[in-house]
A and B are shown apart, each in its own frame.
Chain A
Amino acid sequence: MEVKEVITETPDTTTFRLQFKDPEVAKSFNFKAGQFGEYSVFGEGECTFCIASSPTRMEYLECSFKKYGKVTSALARLNVGDTIGLRGPYGNYFPIDEMKGKNVVFIAGGIGLAPVRCIIDNVLDLRDQFKDITIIYGARSVADLVYKNLLKEWQERKDIKTIVTVDPGGETPDWKGEIGFVPSIVEKTAPKSDNSVAIICGPPIMIKYTFPVMTKLGFREDDIITTLENRMKCGLGKCGRCNIGNVYVCKDGPVFTYTQMKELPQEF
């Protein structure tokens, strides 16, 4: 795939807009919101991220990544016109058809907005098929917020409710959003749980403390959905590192409901 655009989200987070080089592949490639891919920089290796863009917008595929290790550092060095590899799409996806006709709450923390963004855009592109939409997004500091332009766009829309928060101490003097950890902001916002689905993604600690809040608000455990991003290599249910008990996150996930997660060995 060719890098068509490089967007610097934060000092260490980058988004790529990508296009297939082979028009045949571009035509035949399709995916569903929630699936992931193995992106590669030849000579450096492969890395696993979700496809951050929506399947309703196929002119580009987007992926967002934080610079951490060998491959993400190599990705961060790439420029417009460079080539990367993509294997995928792999894994299951968000149950968008079952979400239709319901209220949807999106909750994300940090770079965890990337795997949720695909389904947010997907839902927004089919806006009239859903009821109330709430987006709650938080990051450690103002500088760590990703998709700043999108956040602004969402906040300006009248038909959705968007709340952006930063952890205490992460605010700037002119910060106008909320200050507080994601779970407490969710509790404060108290999105209604009737006929609602919640999609949550963020650091494990955020997920852990947000689940009880959701149950307290009255959400059914089947309607609390998250996406797990375990370390993966093959994406094909073989290499043996993403499993939780006898479930392979790359095959049976990455999307799980709270009900399913409770049945698994608690090893995320």
Chain B
Amino acid sequence: MEEKIISKENLLKLCSDLLKNNVDIVTPGEKGYIKIKNESEISLNSKSKHTKASFKEYVFPKSEPIIYYKKNQSDVEIIEPKVEEKTTVIFGAKPCDVRSISILSKIFNWDYKDEFFNVRSRNTVLIGMMCEYADEFCFCTSVNLSPTSSDGSDVFLVPHDENTFGVKIVTEKGADLLKPYENYLSAGNSEKTKAIEASVKQPEKVFDAEKVRQWISGNFENDYWNSIGKMCLGCAQCAFVCPVCHCFDIVDEDYNYYEGRRMKNWDGCQFDMFTKHASGHNPRDDQSKRYRQRISHKFKYYPDKFEEILCTGCGRCSRGCPVTIDIKGIVTEINELAIK
């Protein structure tokens, strides 16, 4: 992996040039990731807290049209929207967020290829940045990630000091992005990068994901699920802020009788209507069953099917939970049950 150094000043120039060249730049903002208009808005703070939502919506929008339809007397015309092929640079994302794209691409490509997702992720360049923020909700190390992991990034930044950044060029896509701006970069200092990475505080590893997977396999009917299900309100904020939750709904929106569009909207498995049959029968008719689905999907079903844990350990679901359900605590408890 090639390594370079860039000064803060040049990094801002790079952003400014990219913006001028009609590239969208998305960076952590106050609440969520925001599309910036000016390079001064860029986030270069590796110590910042996680944004409330991840950048998932830039590859998998909250709401997007999948077809437009026009009705006339005897027929219906269907127009398929095309996703714009426009480069988006996700700038300064934490390693846990960056990893979400490769996890999500498994579900969107295992059978039918979801071009809405694929076109966007193909046109997205991920500039990750080492993370020096770890609170009581973080557990990336327990899901085999780390604050210094460049896994999934196209370019990875490691702050050397306030005004200098180590630049790891991880993929060809990353190299292609930086190529026109080579003069902003100088020779790398990988020794220093390594030393800084080694000094970063890693969240403590609190569970063994494999043990958790095995416990879930044999404990579908365990009473433990009832105890956590009773706390959950079923608001599904956890799914909406999650970088890898991907459930969606399909609904029609009519402009008028003759015209409208069919939308794909985010949905969440914690809603009671989510699996309810027309007959009124509901396979997950109780909040504890829905919570069991959430945990099992993340730590058993998805790993079984795609060999990826459906969780990046970012802790957003716990930070935002109105009744303080902490996924890290729950999975740690499951780990303890597994060891017993």
A83 CA / B77 CA spacing, docked (Å): 11
- The residue that A231 contacts in the complex, of B75, B248, B251, B276, with Cβ under 8 A, is B276
Give B230 Cβ to nearest chain A Cβ, in Å.
18
Q: Which partner residue on chain B sits nearest A205 by CB separation?
A: B281
A83→B262 CA distance, assembly (Å) = 16
Q: In the bound complex, how far is the Cα of B251 from the Cα of A46, in angstroms?
A: 7
Whether A172 sits at the interface, judged by CB under 8 Å, is: no
Q: Name the segment of B16-24, B106-114, B185-193 touching the other chain.
A: B106-114
Contact A244–B283 (Cβ < 8 Å):
yes
Q: How far is the CA of A203 from the CA of B220 in the complex (A)?
A: 23
* Given A45-B252, A233-B249, A233-B250, CB of A267 within 8 Å of CB of B289: yes
A225 CB, min distance to chain B CBs, angstroms:
19
Interchain CB contact under 8 A, A237 and B71? no
B247 & A85 in contact (Cβ 8 Å cutoff): no
Task: For the complex, give the distance between the alpha carbons of A268 and B257 in Å.
Answer: 37
Q: Say whether A236 contacts B283, CB under 8 Å.
A: no
Chain B 295-334 interface residues, beta-carbon cutoff 8 Å to A: 296-297, 300-302, 304-305
| Binding-face segment, B41-49, B130-138, B267-275 | B267-275
Q: Are B304 and A203 in touch, CB under 8 angstroms? A: no
- How far, in angstroms, from A236 to B278 measured CA to CA in the complex? 20
Q: Give how many B residues have a beta carbon under 8 Å from the other chain's beta carbons.
A: 45
Q: Indicate if A177 sits at the interface (CB-CB under 8 A).
A: no
Contact B283 A268 (CB under 8 A): yes
The complex places the Cα of A130 from the Cα of B107 at a distance, in Å, of 41
Using Cβ atoms and an 8 Å threshold, which residues of chain A touch B257? 43
Any B CB within 8 A of the CB of A28: no
The answer to whether A204 touches B250, judged by C-beta atoms less than 8 angstroms apart, is no
| A212 interface contact, C-beta 8 A | no
Contact in complex: B248, A85 (CB < 8 Å) = no
Contact indicator A267/B284 (Cβ below 8 Å) = yes
Q: A218 contacts the other chain (Cβ, under 8 Å)? A: no
A234 and B254 contacting across the interface, CB-CB below 8 Å = no
- B183 on interface, CB distance cutoff 8 Å: no
Q: Is A152 at the interface (CB under 8 A from chain B)?
A: no
Residues of B within 8 A of A204 (CB): 281
Residues of chain B within 8 A (CB-CB) of A81 are 74
**Contact (Cβ within 8 A) A246 B300:** yes
How far apart sit A233 and B273, CA to CA, in the bound complex (Å)? Answer: 13
Q: Indicate whether A127 reaches chain B with its CB closer than 8 angstroms.
A: no
Asked if B184 CB lies within 8 Å of chain A CBs, one says no
Partner of A238, one of B78, B107, B284, B297: B107
> Is B246 in contact with chain A by the CB < 8 A criterion?
yes
Chain A residues near B304 (CB-CB < 8 A): 246
- Structural contact, B279 and A203, CB atoms closer than 8 A: yes
A42-B262, A231-B276, A240-B269 are known contacts; what are 6 more A-B pairs with Cβ within 8 Å?
A44-B252, A72-B278, A83-B74, A234-B248, A239-B267, A246-B300
- Which residues of B approach A to under 8 Å, CB–CB? 69, 71, 74-76, 78, 107-108, 110-112, 114, 220-221, 246-252, 254, 257, 260, 262, 267, 269, 274-279, 281, 283-284, 289, 293, 296-297, 300-302, 304-305
Instruction: Name the 6 nearest CB pairs between A and B, nearest first.
Output: A240-B247, A68-B278, A246-B301, A43-B254, A236-B112, A42-B69
Chain A residues at the B interface, C-beta cutoff of 8 Å:
21, 40, 42-46, 66, 68-69, 72, 81, 83, 85, 203-204, 229-231, 233-234, 236-246, 251, 265-268
A-B contact pairs, 22 of them (CB 8 A): A21-B75, A42-B260, A42-B262, A43-B252, A45-B250, A45-B252, A45-B262, A46-B262, A83-B74, A83-B75, A204-B281, A229-B277, A236-B111, A236-B112, A238-B246, A239-B247, A240-B246, A241-B247, A241-B269, A241-B275, A246-B302, A246-B304
